[in-house]
Structure 1
């Protein structure tokens, strides 16, 4: 078989035995070796490809926590605070005031049927001082057409009176339905249990959009453009339709990424959920990898729905909202651990971290299981003693580094205060304790861009330029490992991807500059191309 040798200015392999090189050889879609061309030629005839001779090659980026919603939410109206690009690359201007939000909604309220809901997403009112996005504000746009606005975090929903009436929320007694002083629904719904009556009433569920093949292809293209070769949809319904869509898109030879879906465990009875994952594993192939189970415990700190230990929030409400009783999480961790499956658990607040560590402790005491790699996701406020427990339990972390940039200023002034902000996303502490970790974007909460995520972890700068937690910065080399081999390890795929070593799949990201030695900020380094199994998937 033909051996193709790609030459480059520099190659960073993430292989400590052979960390750098200028030539990587590929055969049958796998890495044959990194080394001098004369050594590669010992394997046989070599075709030298020098199209990347002035570029830098690194292992294909691994996004260990995002959502295929990135490919579907853009079918709805964007109302976010920050500028964003959609999967096709179109720039959407961020909205800096409540008036701008109203105006964008009003400009679209007459589009579509009068009885159909107007759906928008990306809104985060925490940036708007002293202004609440609620029923009254949305009613100024329309009090007859249902309006549904999904919070940037995906953990809160804002609705108008027409939606409240359609869903019959006034008569429901559900945690998460926020009420005004008169006891009426305010138009703010916190966490998923409170949202589901709206989805049912409108025959619409934003989380089901990932069952569409077009959405999955848009998701893949958004990832490919940023140098990602393996992407994780960390909350998939895994319905028959969702699995069929995943199988269809990944069967295409030109699908540009490897896709790793995780079962949304709270949507399934545990026994049925574990059976569904085991059945889906039979469909695994090189571009599709089932096997993960996702639990969502609490909400998000920036919208006051994460569960915090004492002293709680700096201002506002005392504590956040559980997506299920803590005992439910305990039981689910035990079930899926005993079933031999791989758990990834959303834990934003330190109280949520504590609940899951207790559950893991119990599960491992009853059913010891070496190399389980259960992974705590986000861990925005994890404490030092909790990190030591993570290390002792052999668990992994996937750290939401982007959070510092987008919400660090808010946490400093509104939610956490100075001291706790120094330990947000404590990657350096995790590294000191020998915990394997990745870093992630949580798209569509923030944009897919591993280099931006790496920049966040190395600089720890907020949007206003404040540095939070100087001692929790990690090096560029450590950040590059976290978006390649570290993330691959948390997915139990480090035997196939994450580094450029003989036998591994030839997934390669081609960069314009050297991420370890350039003075250019990581977030500004261009992605020139990606290769999946040694084949170019198109420029960045």
Structure 2
């Protein structure tokens, strides 16, 4: 079901045959010969409220210079290289509204502990075998950190997190940290806890939890939310030397999924500098948009060398990311009503917890709004959304600014936003970026933990669009794999692992699902005049699919292949039929 990272990047003629480029015999000057005319396919512009097809699109010097009838295209650009789509579907290149480019890159140096269909882990013993094998295969010496990613306690046979005792059985002499699939918690072994000075005497930090064994203060190894931050910070430091090694592979992975604009959903200053250095060296094949971390907001706003909202050699820092709560499947998202199942470390009224206090969030909003810095706020539970709305109102009042000024504050995930909160988003010109992959990966678990009513309203894309919002939809990779086609499938079908439909009234049309990763995604990032639709004057960023998502059976959308990805007129990926 999931596309693998190792898709082969092959020569351009591999997908259409070597006769794909039909050149005219007319002798034209060199400038005219640089244009390309795409025709004979389903060319979907995404530039209207309803599906609109055209016969031809012409690219020249990296921009779209014509959209319309083929005869007019040939008349205006007679010397173009003609590219016969042979009935395939051409769309604007996919725009990633929210993932973690840097984390995706970092996973290439870690042990893959994902369950099916992403990986092959079924129980804790599988995890231990993989960790032990990794140490042996890589000849990792004692004392060196070993990292794993993607384990999901809800999909393990034991239905629990691994503990430090489990990991110690196979790796007693290496510090180990395993990142949960949610990205909001992880497990360390005894040596890993010791390295970060976490013991029975260590208190849980505000906004986080250090899990304990029953009737004991002894840590199990599980650290949640702010308690995991030191482990993740060290992980990033330890893997920093690998950034350049995996950079191109990561770009190719995004491009293989039709993405021409990628996203790094929370980026520290050192990584921002690294990305900009790669961009300035001409190494970017795609555009990359980064969000600076909120912990550095004050210094970032004062730094004249950090220019927000401006591309420099295909890289820009768009705004600031705030993490306001945790994970619904990890039971750390903050709700107004309690979870219906047991929550580790909580005895009663277990509603999750915010990552920051209201006062801190208020201060961050005031700082950002004063400098017109766009905010992207991680919110899963409805109680956290209430906090964000309050912070918005407070900042506008404090700064004497209109509540509906076009800031485009983005509510990342907005997984369980209530109907009244969606109406407030409209009023305040906030926009949600939803995460319908949850319906597949954790829909069944959400029904258990939250009840059917709340679970079925997760990522309410239809309700949001009906109100006039421009919702986007994302993978949050590494939480779920980069795969826009699968994200379209989950938005349209909302089918869980067990085959149950999670919220049939929120199933989108395929066209709505496509808008979420093209036109709406461009709008979210203030790029609507640059990309997201097939419109004259915009960048010639295209993706070519083997089938049209609007014309296949909804349940078959996930089987569609990205055949070619084109960035500013140049092919950066073609599909190999040997895969």
Is this a same-fold pair by TM over 0.5?
Answer: yes
**Alignment match, 2:42:** 10
* 1:418 corresponds to 2:435: no
- Which of residues 337, 342, 363 is equivalent to 2:374? 342
How far the C-alpha of 1:174 sits from its partner, in A, is: 2.9
**Alignment match, 2:328:** 301
How far the C-alpha of 1:41 sits from its partner, in A, is: 4.2
**Alignment match, 1:141:** 170
Q: Spell out, residue by residue over 1:26-81, the C-alpha distance to the aligned partner (whole angstroms, 9 max, x if none).
A: 12211112112332245444314224233210010011100011112121101111
Q: Distance in 2 between matches of 1:282 and 1:384?
A: 31
* 1:287 corresponds to 2:307: no
**Alignment match, 1:160:** 189
- Which of residues 272, 277, 292 is equivalent to 1:243? 272
How far the C-alpha of 1:113 sits from its partner, in A, is: 1.3
Q: Spell out, residue by residue over 1:337-382, the C-alpha distance to the aligned partner (whole angstroms, 9 max, x if none).
A: 1111111110011111111111112223432262211110001111
Q: Spell out, residue by residue over 1:445-471, the C-alpha distance to the aligned partner (whole angstroms, 9 max, x if none).
A: 111111110110010101111001110
Q: Distance in 2 between matches of 1:380 and 1:210?
A: 35
Query: Contact conserved, 1:122 with 1:445, CA < 8 A, in 2?
Result: yes
Secondary structure in 2 matching 1:163:
helix
Unaligned runs of at least 5 residues, structure 1: 85-92
- Which of residues 239, 247, 269 is equivalent to 1:216? 247
**Alignment match, 2:227:** 194
Q: Distance in 2 between matches of 1:499 and 1:133?
A: 46
How far the C-alpha of 1:137 sits from its partner, in A, is: 1.5
Which range moved further: 246-255 or 285-294?
A: 246-255
Query: Contact conserved, 2:42 with 2:88, CA < 8 A, in 1?
Result: yes
Secondary structure in 1 matching 2:315:
coil
How far the C-alpha of 1:407 sits from its partner, in A, is: 0.7
Q: Distance in 2 between matches of 1:529 and 1:199?
A: 35
**Alignment match, 1:60:** 93
Q: Distance in 2 between matches of 1:198 and 1:157?
A: 9
Q: Distance in 1 between matches of 2:446 and 2:374?
A: 32
Query: Contact conserved, 1:217 with 1:249, CA < 8 A, in 2?
Result: no
**Alignment match, 1:20:** 53
Compared with structure 1, are the counterparts of its residues 498 and 199 closer, same or farther at alpha carbon in structure 2 (3 Å cutoff)? closer
- Which of residues 419, 426, 446 is equivalent to 1:384? 419
Q: Spell out, residue by residue over 1:459-507, the C-alpha distance to the aligned partner (whole angstroms, 9 max, x if none).
A: 0101111001110111011111111001111111111010000100010
How far the C-alpha of 1:252 sits from its partner, in A, is: 5.6
Which range moved further: 493-502 or 276-285?
A: 276-285
Secondary structure in 2 matching 1:279:
coil
Unaligned runs of at least 5 residues, structure 2: 1-30
Q: Distance in 2 between matches of 1:496 and 1:210?
A: 34
**Alignment match, 2:142:** 114
Q: Distance in 2 between matches of 1:82 and 1:67?
A: 21
Compared with structure 1, are the counterparts of its residues 283 and 500 closer, same or farther at alpha carbon in structure 2 (3 Å cutoff)? closer
Q: Distance in 2 between matches of 1:228 and 1:210?
A: 26
Q: Distance in 1 between matches of 2:357 and 2:63?
A: 46
Query: Contact conserved, 1:127 with 1:410, CA < 8 A, in 2?
Result: no
* 1:373 corresponds to 2:401: no
Q: Spell out, residue by residue over 1:290-348, the C-alpha distance to the aligned partner (whole angstroms, 9 max, x if none).
A: 22211111110111111111133433241324332232112101211111111111001
Query: Contact conserved, 1:485 with 1:498, CA < 8 A, in 2?
Result: yes
Secondary structure in 2 matching 1:293:
strand
Q: TM-score, normalization: structure 2?
A: 0.86
**Alignment match, 1:402:** 437
Large movers: runs of 4+ above 6 Å: none
Q: Where does 1:516-527 land on structure 2 (aligned, <5 Å)?
A: 516-519=550-553, 521-527=556-562
Q: Spell out, residue by residue over 1:418-448, the C-alpha distance to the aligned partner (whole angstroms, 9 max, x if none).
A: 1111101111110111111110000111111
* 1:233 corresponds to 2:259: no
**Alignment match, 2:152:** 124
How far the C-alpha of 1:283 sits from its partner, in A, is: 6.9
Compared with structure 1, are the counterparts of its residues 356 and 150 closer, same or farther at alpha carbon in structure 2 (3 Å cutoff)? same
- Which of residues 496, 500, 507 is equivalent to 1:466? 500
Q: Distance in 2 between matches of 1:186 and 1:26?
A: 58
Compared with structure 1, are the counterparts of its residues 247 and 278 closer, same or farther at alpha carbon in structure 2 (3 Å cutoff)? closer
- Which of residues 174, 180, 194 is equivalent to 1:151? 180
Q: Distance in 1 between matches of 2:437 and 2:372?
A: 31
CA-atom RMSD in angstroms: 2.2
Compared with structure 1, are the counterparts of its residues 277 and 525 closer, same or farther at alpha carbon in structure 2 (3 Å cutoff)? farther
